[in-house]
Structure 1
Amino acid sequence: MPKGGRKGGHKGRARQYTSPEEIDAQLQAEKQKAREEEEQKEGGDGAAGDPKKEKKSLDSDESEDEEDDYQQKRKGVEGLIDIENPNRVAQTTKKVTQLDLDGPKELSRREREEIEKQKAKERYMKMHLAGKTEQAKADLARLAIIRKQREEAARKKEEERKAKDDATLSGKRMQSLSLNK
């Protein structure tokens, strides 16, 4: 069995690349450590006796560790460019006193469209009743034609009835004349 087990050795692992910020942070940390070592060598025990310098160096080490952690958490291009989403709106909390309950309520898109549709229908019906729409004009023309046809039919019926009455009267006259003989 090969060295490292079945899965293979260290060469198959994912590679880790250091970002420029991490490199800068490491260089600064090395320079800081080198300065501290030089100060300790030059100052000897004198630097150890100054508690403020020790505190500053400890604080700077902790802050550098925090910066290193922060740098390691950022991935990809995030370390190079600070990007903030311009479309993101920060949510602000409102107090109860700031709420405007008496003001006009904003309608949803569907509600607005439904109200607009109803108003358009009402406008159309008013125009239709006034006879200003194309459909109303066509209906009125059709009604005029039907009215003329009915008048003609009524006139014909009247003429037929008169003709029938005349025929019956003339037939009765003939009968009465023939009976009178």
Structure 2
Amino acid sequence: MFSCTVYDGEKTMIRWNSQGREPVESFTAWSNVNFHYFNSLGRFKKNDTTYTLMFGIGDTDTAKMASLYARRNAIYAPPVIPALPEDATAEPSFVVTQGNLTPADLEPLVGLHELYKEHHAAMVAEYQRLKVLREQVAAERAANPPDPKPDIIIQHWTIEPKDQPVTNTEGGQAQ
């Protein structure tokens, strides 16, 4: 599973952990590919391994973050992004910035970048299509909101405790 943050719609910081190894090691890499383009990709094969993708992807607009911090009289320090080729379509690449990776740890990341190089036009087109579809659904829902659920009525009643019967025991009364 990759946890990704796309900065300014261009560069992606990728975080993941070693799988099946003890102790677990954390890795970080930067890519010049916007990982949102992989959203419609459920799985892919690299060598003899089929990878099922599960992304947690967020976005950070560094100009907006700087503005938000400035309003609070603070300074936003964006992450230091390593040098990467500008044109991801011609040269999709990544730089590992944390962790001692094995070839097995790198294989899914290498495979994703190979897929992007080979199919970037289709991936970008599908991303744009899904984005437009989401916007249309949101606009439709805003124009025609669903009927609100009716008020919920909770019915309750008081349960009175039963009188406790008095039981006689030897030598006196039970209370």
Classify the TM-score, shorter chain.
under 0.3
Q: TM-score w.r.t. structure 2 length?
A: 0.20
Relative contact order (C-alpha < 8 Å, sep 6+): which is higher? Answer: 2
Instruction: Write 1 or 2 for the structure with the bigger share of helix.
Output: 1
Q: TM-score w.r.t. structure 1 length?
A: 0.20
Instruction: Write 1 or 2 for the structure with the bigger share of strand.
Output: 2
